[in-house]
Structure 1
Amino acid sequence: MRRRPLFAALLAAPALLPRGAGAQASRAATLRVVPETLTTIFDPHFTTSFTTRDFAYLVYDTLFAVDDRWQPQPQMVERWTKTPEGRDWTFTLREGLAFHDGTPVTAEDCTASLRRWGARDSLGGFLIAATETLEPTDARSFRLRLSRPFGLVLEALAKPGAMVPMIMPKRLAETPPTRPVTEPIGSGPYRFVAGEYRPGERIVLTRNAAYVPRAEASIWAAGGKRPTFERIEMIAMPDVSTQVSALSTGEVDYLERLPADVLPALERNRNVRIQVVSPFGYQGILRFNHLQPPFDDVRVRRAVMLAVKQSDYMAAVSGRPDFARDCLSMLGCGTPYETTAGMPAATDFEAARRALREAGTDLSRPVVILHPADAPGIAALGLVTQDLLTRLGFRVDLQSMDLNTFFGRRARQDGWNVFHTTNTVPDMQTPLQNPFLNGAGRQGGFAGWPEDAGVESDRAAFAAAADEPTRKRIAEDLHRRAAEDGFYMPLGQFVGASAWRSELSDVPTGPAMWLWNIRRGR
C-alpha cells in the first residue's frame, strides 16, 4: 500500500471526516475511532473477524466475561448454580435487561442465541454437542443439562474472542446460521444508528441510556461497562499517514493499530499517547486450502512450513524487534498450553525444495493467495509468502481485494490455495478456542478444511477432561497431530501499538479494542 509522505500529511489539516446528521453533536461528547479496518459484518456469530468482534462488544452483551486472570465473571447473569458432578446448570439474568428495540431480554433470547453461536463457533459447538437440554424455566432463567462431561461451561460462555457468545433477540437468533444477521440489535452500552451508517466509510453508535452497568470495577470485558460518550464514530481511514495527521490535529481521538514506522513522529507529540493495549498480541497465520492442489498433499504443506523463516514475517508486520518474537506454537506463546510438538525444528530452505521435488509437486499450477490489501497487518504477511513461494519455484497469483471480500472468498472451498490472517493470541490458547485446529474437514470444518479424526478425538477428550494435567497432555498430542498434518503454519507472535489523544483517560486494555469507560479529561 502506498502512503502519502508523512511530513506532508502532518503539515496538512484538512477536514478529513464526513459531516452528517451527527455534526451538531458536541465534539467533547463524541469519541472518534479509526479501526484497523471497518467491518461490514454486524453478526458476532458469523465471522472470526476482530473488527466485527470489537463493534459487537459495543452493541451486544454477554452472559459472562473473563477478567485479566482469565476467570469467568457474571455479566448479564445475576446468579447461577450447578450440581456437584457439573451436569446440571441453571442461570438467572439480572433484572431490567432490555434490547435496543425496547423489548426485555428473556431466557428464550439467551437459549436461542447460544444455539446459534454453537452452530458457528468451535468452542460453542463442543458445548452444544455435549448438551442434552437447553431451555427456559421462566422469563429470566434457563437450564443447561449436559449429556456428557464438559469441563469448560463457564469458560465457553465467557469466551472473550471471536466468535463471542453475544446475546441477541430470539427473532434474530433464529436467522439460519449460514446467513449473517444484518440488524444489529443487542442490549449493550451503545446503539447502532442505521440512518448514519455509510458502508466502508463510517459506523455511528449512540449511548444506550437504558443500559445499567454492573457495579463491579471494569476489568477487561468483565464488570461495569459504562458508556461515557454520547456518541462513537468508527471511521474508515485506510491511509496511515492520514490517520497520523488526523490524530495529531485532533480530528480523531483513537487509532486502533499502527505500523511501527510511524510511531516516532507520534512519540514526539505531547498531545498523543502510544501504548500496546494487548500485551498478548497476535499470531500470524499461513493457512493452506487442504481441498485443492497442491496443498491437498501433506508433503507439500510440510515442505512450505519447513521453508518459512518467521523473522522475515515479523520484520514485515511488526517493524520493531521488541514488538515480535518467533513462536511455533499453534496455541500461542506464553499461554498455558504452549508447545512446539510436531513443528519443524528449524528453517531449511534447501530441504524444502528437495521435499517438493520428491513429492512430484506440479509447480506450473498457479498458487492463488487471497490478499486483503486494505488490512496492512495481514497484507504484509502475504507479500512475504509470495516471495517465499516464488523462490521455491511456484507460480504465484496474488489476488488483491478488500477485507470483507476476503472473508467471503476464503469461505469458498475452491478458487484459492493460501490465505493469511492474524488472530489475537488469547483466541488461540486452547484446542477448542482456536478455530484453525478444527479437524472436521469439508463438512463442519473451518476455512482451509483440514481433516484429521485423531485431532477431532483429542478435541473431544480435551472438552471432557476433568483436570488440568490431563488437558495439557491432550493438548500436546493434538498439537503434534495438527502440526504433522500441516493444518497451518504459525508465522510468529507480535504486538501492535495503539495511539490516542492524551486528554483521554481510563482507556481499557486487554485482548480486544474496548471503548467503554473512556473519559475526556482527567
Structure 2
Amino acid sequence: MQNKTMFLLMLVITFIISGCSQTENQATNKQNNEQNLNVAFSGQPPSLDPHITTATEALEIARNIFETLVTLNENYEPVPMLAESVESSEDGKVYTFHLREGVNFHNGEEMTSEDVVASMNRWLEKASVAITFLPGATFEAEGLHTVVLKLEEPATDVLDIMAGRSQFPAIMPKDIIDSAPAEGVSEIVGTGPFELKEWKQDQHIHLKKFDNYSMLDEEPSGLAGRKEVFFDNVYFKVVSDSSTRLAGLETGEYDVAIQIPHNNFEKVNNLPNVNVYLDYSGTNNVYYNRKEGPMANEKMRQAVNIALDLDEIMLAAFADEELYEVDHNYMKPDQTNWNGESGKESFNQKDTERAKELLKEAEYNGEELILLTSRTYDYQYNSSVVLKEQLEQIGVNIKLEDYDWTGYQDRRNDLSKWDLVSVGGQGLLTTPSQLLALDSAFASGSDHPKITELLKLIRTAETQDKAREHWDELQGFLWNEYVPITIYGHQNSIVGTTSKLEDLSVLQGPIFWNTRMAE
C-alpha cells in the first residue's frame, strides 16, 4: 500500500513538473516570437515629463508615449492629432479644439476634455515657451469633447508653438496632473502608440506596444497621420560612449544608434549592413550670461562674437562639411519665408583686432570666465575646446568645465555657475517665437524690451511679408548689438540603423512607428 501511494505521488509530481516545463517553454517561445527593437542613445534622460524637459534624449523617447492636440507634418505645418479639428475666432483670441472621441490612455481610461484642460493648463504654467508667449492664456472645457483656448492678445503662431518639440504639451490623465510633484509627473501615462513598461536608471527604458492605441486612418506625414506599430518592444539603451554605440551597431547588438560620432561619418557611411540618415538638429551655439558677471556687458559679448572663426569651430565639431552649414540665420537655412541677409555683417568675422578693442571698451581685466559644456554630445564638447583656444588668443582668461548631462543641466540653471555655456540642437522650429535664444525663461533669458516688442509685432502681423520685415529688424539687432548668443552654424545629427530596418523616417529624431524589420 505504501509503495502504491509513493508511486501515485511520484506520478503527480511528474505531471506537475511536465506542466511547468511546458508553460515555461510556451512563455519562452512567446517571448522569442516578439519583435524587439534595440536603440542605443547617448544619455540618461533627466525626466520623461514633456512639460518640463528640454533634453533631446528625453523628448525623442517621450513622443512615442505622449501625443498632443496638434503636431507637425512633413512640411513642418501644425495639423490635428488628438484634436479632430481646430477653429479660431476672427479676432485671433479664441481657439476651439474639437477632440477625437474614443482615444484611450495607457491606463485604460478614455481621454476627455477634463484631461486635456488639466494637461494644457499645466503646460501653460510649466513650459518656458508658453510662459513667455502665451501669458494669461487659459484652457476651458465645453462639454465632454471640446476645449477652448482663450488668449489675452491675438497671436498667429499659437498652433506652431503647441506643435513645437521642446517642452511639448503632452496630454495626460487629469488625476496624474493633479497629483504631480514640482519635479515632474510620477506616472508616465499617455495616449501614444507605445507605453512605458520599465525604466532602469542608467541602463534602459523599455517601451511596449500599446495594444489599445487609437490610430488615425490617414496617410503618415512627419509626426502626423497613421502610427502603425510593428514592434512589440523598443529598448532605449543608455550607451554614453559614442564609439560603443557605433561598435554595437556594426556588430548587430543595436538596431538603431542615435548620435553617431561625427568624426565616424565616413566609416559608418561605408559599412555594408548599415543605413545612415542625416537629421537636421538645429544650431550649434554658445550662450552668454546676460544677467551676471563680465558677459552681462554688451561689449564683452560683441568682442567674443566678432573674434570667432566659426569655420574652424564647426569643422572641429562635425569633421565633415556634409554634416553642417556655416550660416548666420537663426532659423533653418532653407526656410526662405524667414531667412535673409540681416545681421550677416557681424557673423564669422574672425576680427581679433576689433575684438581686443571691444574688450578694452568693456574694461575687461582678465577675470576668469567659466565655459560650461558636456561630453554627452561630442560636438558640444569639441566646439567648446576650440572656442576656449580662440578666446585665449585675444587675451580672455577662460576655464572649461565639463560635466555629465545631469550635472551640466543643473549648473546651466544656476547663473552663478557659468559665463558662457555650450548649447546645441533644439531641432526644427517653424516660427522665431520658438527660439530658446529669445526665451526669457531659458538660460539667462532674453528679456530686452526691443526683443519683446518686435516678437509681438511678428506674432500679430497680418501677412507673412510683414512678419518677415519685423524679423529682419530683430535678427539684425541680435547680431549687431544685443548678441544673446553666437550661432556657429546649423548641424545634422547622424542616425545609423541596420539595413534590415525598412521605411524609417526621421524628423527631429528617428520615428519608430510605421517602420518594420525585413523578414
TM > 0.5: yes
1:359 aligns with 2:362: yes
Residues 178, 458 of structure 1: CA spacing in aligned structure 2 closer, same or farther, 3 A cutoff? Answer: farther
Partner of 1:73: 79
| Inter-partner Cα distance in structure 1 for 2:273 and 2:452 | 51
Structure with the larger helix share: 2
Residues 227, 217 of structure 1: CA spacing in aligned structure 2 closer, same or farther, 3 A cutoff? Answer: same
Partner of 1:11: none
Counterpart residue type for residue 201 of structure 1: Q
Preserved CA contact (<8 Å) 1:45 1:164: yes
Preserved CA contact (<8 Å) 2:249 2:257: yes
Matches for 1:398-409 after TM superposition, within 5 Å: 398-409=400-411
Partner of 1:431: 432
Partner of 1:6: none
Residues 382, 177 of structure 1: CA spacing in aligned structure 2 closer, same or farther, 3 A cutoff? Answer: farther
Counterpart residue type for residue 379 of structure 2: G
Preserved CA contact (<8 Å) 2:242 2:259: no
Deviations 1:40-59 (A, max 9, x none): 31111112222121111011
Deviations 1:6-60 (A, max 9, x none): xxxxxxxxxxxxxxx9998438611111123331311111122221211110110
Deviations 1:107-133 (A, max 9, x none): 1221222222223435433563263x5
CA-CA distance at 1:188 after TM superposition? 0.9
Partner of 1:147: 152
Deviations 1:152-206 (A, max 9, x none): 23223322x2122211222343467953334322111111123xx2222211111
Preserved CA contact (<8 Å) 1:101 1:185: yes
| Inter-partner Cα distance in structure 2 for 1:175 and 1:398 | 40
Pick the aligned partner of 1:35 from 41, 47, 50: 41
Q: Secondary structure at the match of 2:303?
A: helix
Partner of 1:15: none
Deviations 1:375-410 (A, max 9, x none): 212211211222122222222222221112211211
Preserved CA contact (<8 Å) 1:41 1:182: no
Q: Secondary structure at the match of 1:34?
A: strand
Q: Secondary structure at the match of 1:287?
A: strand
Preserved CA contact (<8 Å) 1:316 1:381: yes
TM-score by structure 1 length?
0.88
Pick the aligned partner of 2:463 from 460, 464, 467: 467
Instruction: Report how many residues are paired.
Output: 489
Q: Secondary structure at the match of 1:313?
A: helix
Preserved CA contact (<8 Å) 1:273 1:499: yes
User: Which of 340-349 and 458-467 deviates more?
Assistant: 340-349
Partner of 2:284: 284
Pick the aligned partner of 2:489 from 480, 489, 492: 492
Preserved CA contact (<8 Å) 2:286 2:485: yes
Partner of 1:271: 273
Partner of 2:190: 186
1:167 aligns with 2:164: no
Matches for 1:330-409 after TM superposition, within 5 Å: 330-335=330-335, 336-342=337-343, 344-345=346-347, 346-363=349-366, 365-409=367-411
Counterpart residue type for residue 456 of structure 2: A
Matches for 1:51-450 after TM superposition, within 5 Å: 51-125=57-131, 128-129=134-135, 131=137, 133-159=138-164, 161-174=165-178, 179-194=183-198, 197-276=199-278, 278=279, 280-335=280-335, 336-342=337-343, 344-345=346-347, 346-363=349-366, 365-427=367-429, 429-438=430-439, 440=440, 445-450=441-446
| Inter-partner Cα distance in structure 2 for 1:472 and 1:100 | 43
Counterpart residue type for residue 97 of structure 1: V
| Inter-partner Cα distance in structure 2 for 1:517 and 1:383 | 40
Pick the aligned partner of 1:455 from 444, 451, 467: 451
Q: Secondary structure at the match of 2:228?
A: coil
Residues 77, 180 of structure 1: CA spacing in aligned structure 2 closer, same or farther, 3 A cutoff? Answer: same
Residues 123, 258 of structure 1: CA spacing in aligned structure 2 closer, same or farther, 3 A cutoff? Answer: same
Cα RMSD of the aligned pairs, angstroms, is 2.3
CA-CA distance at 1:222 after TM superposition? 0.6
Partner of 1:7: none
Partner of 2:10: none
| Inter-partner Cα distance in structure 1 for 2:31 and 2:328 | 49
| Inter-partner Cα distance in structure 1 for 2:515 and 2:433 | 33
Residues 480, 22 of structure 1: CA spacing in aligned structure 2 closer, same or farther, 3 A cutoff? Answer: farther
Larger radius of gyration: 2
Identical amino acids, percent of aligned pairs: 22
Q: Secondary structure at the match of 2:39?
A: strand
CA-CA distance at 1:285 after TM superposition? 0.8
Q: Secondary structure at the match of 2:510?
A: coil
| Inter-partner Cα distance in structure 1 for 2:30 and 2:416 | 49
Residues 293, 284 of structure 1: CA spacing in aligned structure 2 closer, same or farther, 3 A cutoff? Answer: same
Counterpart residue type for residue 95 of structure 1: E
CA-CA distance at 1:504 after TM superposition? 0.4
Q: Unaligned stretches of 5+ in structure 2? A: 1-26
Preserved CA contact (<8 Å) 2:160 2:431: no
| Inter-partner Cα distance in structure 1 for 2:379 and 2:333 | 19
CA-CA distance at 1:472 after TM superposition? 0.6
TM-score by structure 2 length?
0.88
Preserved CA contact (<8 Å) 2:34 2:232: no
| Inter-partner Cα distance in structure 1 for 2:178 and 2:285 | 33
Counterpart residue type for residue 169 of structure 2: P
Partner of 1:507: 504
